[in-house]
Amino acid sequence: MKTIFLTSLLCIVFLSAQDNDTTCLESSLSNTTLSLKEEAISDIQRKEQYFDMYLNEYTDNETRNTVFQVSGSLFNIDPYKSNYFLPITYDFIGHQGRQNAEAMFQISLKKNMLYNFLGFGESMSIAYTQRSWWQIYKHSSPFRETNYLPEVYMSIPWYNNKSPIKNYKFGFIHESNGQPEGNSRSWNRLYLDVVMQYSGVFINPRVWYRVPERAEDDDNRDILDYMGYGDLTIIYPYKEQLFKLFLRNNFDFDENRYAVQFDWTFPLAKNGVFGHVQYFDGYGESLIDYNVKTRRAGIGLSLSR
């Protein structure tokens, strides 16, 4: 059944590349993209003005560019996934040794390393995502769990306005929680990620292959029984609001394990601060809970969407 699911999903993705009558990503977001570009250009211009007016002049451009990078922090590090802080979350399912109420946050950044190296407009990038669950309302406020996700991937745009497919991404991702034996969890995956757009709605299926480990080193041998072999994200932008629905299932109908996450973000200020509401139900919210069910709601702030 799992093999049939993976094969069917990939077939749907590749066959849909032949569809037409779909508005391309660039045109649907052109106004927003232009505004963001203008803001970025203005920010760079402000830094250049400060550099020219207040710092000592350098005679060679190479040294000047180096100092400008340092003074302006222009290392082209961008947000990757959502960056958010939810100071109030509540798990409606009780778990031993923890409070139901806790804080949660995610940091996610990427750095583009190579562009068009193979000649078809692809980009090679590295990324880092960190998710933390913080028992902030407990005495001494310990961090209960932190998951670390370094990643390397190649992103390939699909240059066909008539196709719903907008981008392919191939990557390798490591995930671990850095805890000692007994609570240690980790796994490595190779994945294929596709971004499609249908009438303004973005559909993002992803399938993965777990890199095998030696039995004596594997601290979560049955993780695929809970996490399955892929996931699906549906994104719906409506004016200034953004709705995301994340779905995962192991497609084992005898012992079915699932995950559903809903995120709603909306602007609070014009400086890129957003309100963030999140709801999660299912397995695998964190590595320590990959085989434990969670039902959590939270509210807070997001700095990127």
- The structure tokens listed for 216 are 């004596």
- Return d(Cα 2, Cα 45) in angstroms, integer: 53
Adjacent-strand bridge partners of 260: 247, 281
Catalytic residue (choose from 16, 176, 184, 304):
176
User: Which residue is it, tokens 């702030």?
Assistant: 301
The letter for the amino acid at 66 is T
Catalytic residue (choose from 95, 174, 184, 304):
174
139 is annotated as an active-site residue = no
Q: What angle do CA 165, 168, 170 make, to 5 degrees?
A: 160
Q: What angle do CA 281, 282, 287 make, to 5 degrees?
A: 115
User: Which residue is it, tokens 């998951």?
Assistant: 147
- Return d(Cα 34, Cα 38) in angstroms, integer: 6
174 is annotated as an active-site residue = yes
Q: What angle do CA 228, 132, 136 make, to 5 degrees?
A: 135
- Return d(Cα 166, Cα 24) in angstroms, integer: 8
Name the H helices within 165-230.
223-227
What is the DSSP-derived secondary structure letter of residue 138? S
- The structure tokens listed for 130 are 């960190």
197 CB neighbour count, 10 Å cutoff: 21
Residues serving a catalytic function are: 174, 176
